[in-house]
Amino acid sequence: MTSSNDLMRVTVLGSGTSAGVPTLGCRCAVCRSTNPRNKRMRSCAYIEHRGSRFLIDCGTDFRTQALANGVEDVDFVLITHTHTDHIGGLDDLRAFNMIHGHAIDLYATPESLTEIRRRFSYCFQPPPPGGGIPEFTVHEIHGDFEVRGIPIRPVPVFHGKMPIVGFRFERFAWLTDVSSIPDSSFELLRGVRILVTSALRHRPHPTHMSLSEALEVAQRVGAEQTYFIHMCHDLEHEDTNAKLPPNIQLAYDGLTFTV
């Protein structure tokens, strides 16, 4: 049994695809919707567990999301892959460096860390006078690892042809930007109680699962509850959820759950 003080508290800071919803310049019904659940910022999860606060990805909208959701510090960040909608907010973490006086630990695959060092090269050089750059301590992930007493299992998935990772904690998994999941990774997900994974739109896409593909994945994993993220403006929140089973639903920005 899990004691209540061992629960993870998960907040979906961003449930949108790379362009966000509303999409700039678009006048479609979803982009013009006044329902807050049709407003989707870029990908990010905020998790509080065992006295630590951490992110999965740190997308372009991170600062706005942190202000809206009362995120006051981040101990570490897990990176799924280095598309800009997943790492575009890393620079904003410097506010926490300055206030709390600690470097922020970044965990990513060697391939992702190479790209982060290239894209954010100014963060890995001696600070300029006056500082103003984030301070990261980077850690390569190779298989299961533990951070601050939290066991973490990388789950390999494909994002088109690109191998990326999702993350499984004991009872919860977050797999974004998925186009397909190898059989061996379904094994790694066995017994998960809450699954968050991605569903872009109805039509197929070369690097993202469609809603029907994501539904098949959700049914195969068989979690008690599945939430979809990384949606584009093709999916209206209420209409789409009405057609999905109650335990497989679109997430929305600001959704929180404990697991």
> Residue 177, interface with Zn ion (CB under 5 A)?
yes
Maximum separation of any 2 CA atoms in the chain, in Å? 56
Minimum CB–partner distance for residue 16 and Zn ion (Å): 9
Q: Phi/psi at 172 (nearest 5 deg)?
A: -140, 140
Residues 220 and 140: their CA atoms lie apart, in Å, by: 30
Stretch that binds Zn ion, among 119-127, 174-182, 183-191, 246-254 (CB under 5 A): 174-182
Pick between residue 28 and residue 68 the one whose CB is nearest to Zn ion: 28
Nearest to 143 by CA among 173, 175, 169, 109: 109
> Residue 28, interface with Zn ion (CB under 5 A)?
yes
> Residue 57, interface with Zn ion (CB under 5 A)?
no
Minimum CB–partner distance for residue 164 and Zn ion (Å): 7
Alpha carbon separation from 74 to 56, 64, 185, 227 (Å, rounded): 11, 15, 28, 24
Minimum CB–partner distance for residue 202 and Zn ion (Å): 14
Residues 102 and 137: their CA atoms lie apart, in Å, by: 10
Minimum CB–partner distance for residue 125 and Zn ion (Å): 27
> Residue 85, interface with Zn ion (CB under 5 A)?
yes
Point out which residues bind Zn ion (CB under 5 A): 18, 23, 26, 28, 31, 83, 85, 177, 233
